[in-house]
Amino acid sequence: MSDAKAKSPGAVQTTGHAWDGDIQEFNNPLPSWWLWGFYATVVFALIYWVLYPAWPVGGSFTKGVLNDITFVDSDGSVKTTHWNTRALLIRDLKEGKEARLSQEYMSRVSAAGYAEILADPEMMAFTRSVAKGLFGDNCAACHGAGGQGVIGLFPNLADDAWLWGGSIEAVSTTITEGRYGFMPAFRDTFNDQQLSDVASYVLSLSGQETDATASARGEKIFQTEQGGCYYCHTHAGTGLKSQGAANLTDQIWTIADVNGTDDPASKKERVERVIRNGVQRRMPRWSERLSPDQIKLLTVYVHELGGGQ
Amino acid sequence: MSDAVEQPLYQARIPIYTRSVKGHFRNLKWGILGLAYSVYFLLPWLRWERNVGPDQAVLFDISARKFYLFGLVVHAQDLFWLAGLLMIAALLLFFVTGIAGRVFCGYFCFQTLWTDLYMLIERLVQGDRVARIRLDKAPRSVGKLLRKGTTHLLWLLAAFLTGLTFTLYWEDAPRLIVEWFTGKAPFAAYATVLFLTATTYVMAGLAREQVCTYMCPYARFQAVMFDADTRIVAYDAARGEGRSGRHRVARSFKTHEERQQQGIGDCIDCGYCVQVCPTGIDIRNGLQVQCISCALCIDACDTIMGSLGWGRGLVRYTSEKQAAGQPSRIWKPRTIGYGLVLLVAASALAWSVGNQAPLELSVVQLRQPLFVRLSDGRIQNSYELHMENKTDQPVDLVIMMRGLAGAQLDVGKLASLELPAQRSLRVLARVRWGSSQDLKGSRSFAFNIVPQRRTDLGMLSAPATFYLPGADY
């Protein structure tokens, strides 16, 4: 090409054909680097077709040869198959540098007892970082990303009130078995006056300002067979953990949003509503969805959210 | 269409057949090349004993986010040193270029070094300039193919070793090299070697001076730093051309006296200075953008002038002012300015490296929820403390807080807080404070970590904020 140009600079080459005497065909060949580049891609494609899955054949496809990949599947079985990125990903997730490091920590945490984990800063850091993901996937839908819950619906896990107990064992049981929180509705049992009195008494238990005589009437209902509230909430009002009954003497309100208002009448109204309608809350059991190790991690994580007991 | 002129999209390369030359500058350049290659190719193999970490003297461990440089460990937080280093490199370039021209290009640039190596290979296999021109013009033959093939194979080998060595800086060298040849190395290692082999081969073997002339931005902007006092490689036109121009050594132009009488300059137009030039320019045409100041033309002319006994220095390092017979100075305001800034930047970096914090503490407030009311009416805030131990010894820490009277700090049931050498740790800390309902807004306080049984480490403090309910945040 360059030689031809040197002979007649500026002129475009023709193919040499001539039609009707003067119609000629220009010859502008592709640059050779481009052409060789194209040939190289053709050679690449041919080699690729042999080595990798490439062509659809009926309902199947050519699998490629000399390029098998071996990986450990999720059920623990070792599988060898034609090369594919899914298997590669599974293998990398299991055998990658970070994965191996994570497995090493996991087996340490798995072998350790709860007390050991809680005392070890490194295991705690690992547990919190892994469990944060587990919590986000499984728990945050109800309890919120930080475990703050939704008042009236889902308990706050970040405070220090534990309906079902805040010890490691109790938290573990709660996650494993699930919980069914129940308080009967008293709308058919109490009249409006009685509801108001009981609400006054309940508020007075945690030091809220109430009418003393109304509270005294309410106490009578609360502490006797007439209301029977003490069965679960106990005479002191601190609640039976075995029943998941709320401690009425502290500053935390999980169902009635008493702290959300400054108006005494509206505080009482909110408590009345709970007594009138009762409570039914259910947390599912997680033993079927999560492995014992995952539950272990979550137990520590939830325990640490509010400081545990 | 008949008068359509086909414009070339780029200028076709005119092949340059450089001739070898001996001399002071060539020796200096070989010396620099030898030193630079010794460092580059041998450094990854230098071992270094450390209490923790790899035993490689220089290792850039990306996955652990640590750069090991002999006794120094650069952590992720220290990465601004890299910015400092780059600034110093730039200032050094400004400083040196202002004084002595394109010293970097001519002596230190890897393009120059690798091109020199490739030219050496070329010369050893195919012979010097004339032999190579003859070989290129010769018809195809087995001998030609063999010589050309050997050259390219050696070039590729040099390029491969260059690429392979580069990867050794990023992984444990002895292990990586075994993994590399047994097919177990990471994909990135193969990709890097392939890429650097290709670029080295193309840039140093095929593109050569075109890199400097067309591709390199440094080559172009260095001209901005030139002034009339900058040292440049220049031809002494007054001496070389005389009154009546240069002339070859011929009858009646033979001796110095004959030439002087006829006004002929000292340049005998032998063309040696042009033949040795790696960028293919004629230095006698004055300062040109292609000139990389490699000074090989000085060696060439000195060789000729020396053998004629006419005195060296017809082509020499000079400055525009000096060449015009005016006094030339090195310390101009600009040079002094660059020098001072360079000194300040270098001192700042040295100080920063010398005073690397052995411990780091940062506090992240957990914001979901921002605060929580406890059963006794107090408010709880949670924080994540990120601590890093940059020393090569483990350290026991105690977490304390200061600034919230009566507050309770809870870090769970941690038995002790031992931070292993060169490791970092995140610890959850809960702070409980305030029982009065009226408290509103936020309060500032500080977390302190106190190293135990280590006299070389002091207490470290980090600010934090305690949030209370009932204010607009």
- Interchain contact, A118 vs B418, CB within 8 Å: no
Digit-coded pLDDT (tens) for B404-457: 888 999 998 888 899 999 889 999 999 999 866 566 788 899 999 999 988 888
* Digit-coded pLDDT (tens) for A66-76: 888 988 887 88
Q: Under a CB-based contact definition with an 8 Å cutoff, are residues B444 and B465 in contact?
A: yes
- Give pLDDT, residue A6: 44
* Residue B373 to residue A10, Cβ atoms within 8 A: no
Question: In chain B, what percentage of residues exceed pLDDT 70?
Answer: 96
Output DSSP code: residue B83.
Answer: H
Residue B472 confidence class, pLDDT cut points 50, 70, 90: low
Residue-level pLDDT at B102: 93
Q: pLDDT band for B140, please (50, 70, 90 cuts).
A: very high
CA distance A307 to A166: 9
- The overall average pLDDT reported for chain B is 91
Q: Are residues B211 and B111 in contact, defined by beta-carbon separation less than 8 angstroms? A: yes
| Closest residue in chain A to residue B437, using alpha carbons only | A259
Q: How many Å apart are CA A50 and CA B111, to the nearest integer?
A: 40
Which of A250-254's residues contact partners 24+ apart within 8 Å by CB, and which partners? A250/A161, A250/A206, A250/B375, A250/B376, A251/A206, A251/B373, A251/B374, A251/B375, A251/B376, A251/B377, A252/A156, A252/A159, A252/A161, A252/B373, A252/B374, A252/B375, A253/A151, A254/A149, A254/A151, A254/A152, A254/A155, A254/A156, A254/A161, A254/A163
The closest CB to that of A119, out of B63, B413, B428, belongs to: B413
Report pLDDT for B473. 52
Per-residue tokens: A232 = 């679960």
Q: What is the pLDDT of residues B365-411, one digit of tens each?
A: 999 889 998 988 889 999 999 999 998 899 999 999 998 888 999 99
- Residues with Cβ within 8 Å of A202's Cβ and at least 6 positions away in sequence, in order, are A218, A222, A237, A248, A271, A275
Which pLDDT value is given to residue B4?
A: 52
Q: State which CATH number among 3.30.70.330, 1.10.760.10, 1.10.3720.10, 1.20.1070.10 fits the domain covering A182-282.
A: 1.10.760.10
**Domain boundaries defined on chain B:** 24-45+108-219, 232-323, 359-467
Which pLDDT score, from 0 to 100, does residue B46 have? Answer: 96
Identify all chain B residues contacting A250, using CB atoms and an 8 Å cutoff. Answer: 375-376
**Per-residue exposure over A134-156, b if at least 16 CB sit within 10 Å of its own CB, e if not:** bbeebbbeebbebbbbebbebbb
Give the pLDDT confidence score for residue A7 in this predicted structure. 46
Task: Read off φ and ψ for residue B197, nearest 5 degrees.
Answer: -60, -45
C-alpha A286/C-alpha A289 separation (Å) is 5
Chain A residues with CB-CB distance to B382 below 8 A: 158, 305
ipTM (interface predicted TM):
0.80
Question: Could you tell me which residue, B257 or B439, shows the higher pLDDT?
Answer: B257
* Contact (CB, 8 A) for B365 and B464: yes
Report how far residue A306's alpha carbon sits from residue A290's, in angstroms, rounded to the nearest whole number.
22
Return the structure tokens found at B443. Answer: 């309060």
What is the per-residue pLDDT for A134?
97
Rank A304-308, B213-217, B331-335, B344-348 by mean pLDDT and report only the highest.
B344-348
**How confident is the prediction along chain A (309 residues), in pLDDT tens digits per residue?**
444 444 445 567 888 888 888 888 888 888 899 999 999 999 999 999 999 999 999 999 999 988 889 888 878 889 999 999 999 999 888 888 888 889 999 999 999 999 999 999 999 999 999 999 999 999 999 999 999 999 989 999 999 999 999 999 999 999 999 999 999 999 999 999 999 999 999 999 998 989 999 999 999 999 999 999 999 999 999 999 999 999 999 989 989 999 888 899 999 999 999 999 999 999 999 999 999 999 999 999 999 998 777
Hey, what CATH class is A107-178+284-306 in? Answer: mainly alpha
Query: Which of B61, B171, B375, B382 to probe by mutation at the A interface, max A CB count within 10 Å?
Result: B375
Q: Which residues contact B166 (CB under 8 A, 6 or more apart)?
A: B192, B193, B196
Work out the number of other CB atoms within 10 angstroms of the CB of residue B336.
Answer: 12
The mean per-residue pLDDT over the stretch B35-48 comes to 96
Residue B369: is the preceding peptide bond cis (ω within 30°)? Answer: yes
Return the minimum-mean-pLDDT range out of A254-263, B180-189, B266-275: A254-263
Q: Which residue ranges make up each domain of chain A?
A: 12-51, 107-178+284-306, 182-282
Task: For the sheet with B417-419, list strands across it.
Answer: B417-419, B395-402, B442-452, B460-467
Query: Chain A within 8 Å of B396 (Cβ-Cβ)?
Result: no
The residue behind tokens 């902007």 is B221
Q: What's A180's DSSP letter?
A: E
Pick the CATH number of B359-467 from 3.30.830.10, 2.60.40.10, 1.10.10.10, 3.20.20.80: 2.60.40.10
Task: List the 106-165 stretch of A: residues with Cβ below 8 A of B.
Answer: 115, 118-122, 124-125, 128-129, 144-146, 148, 156, 158-161
Is it the case that residue B470 has pLDDT exceeding 60?
Answer: yes
Please, are residues A130 and A124 in contact by the beta-carbon 8 Å criterion? no
Supply the pLDDT for residue B2: 46
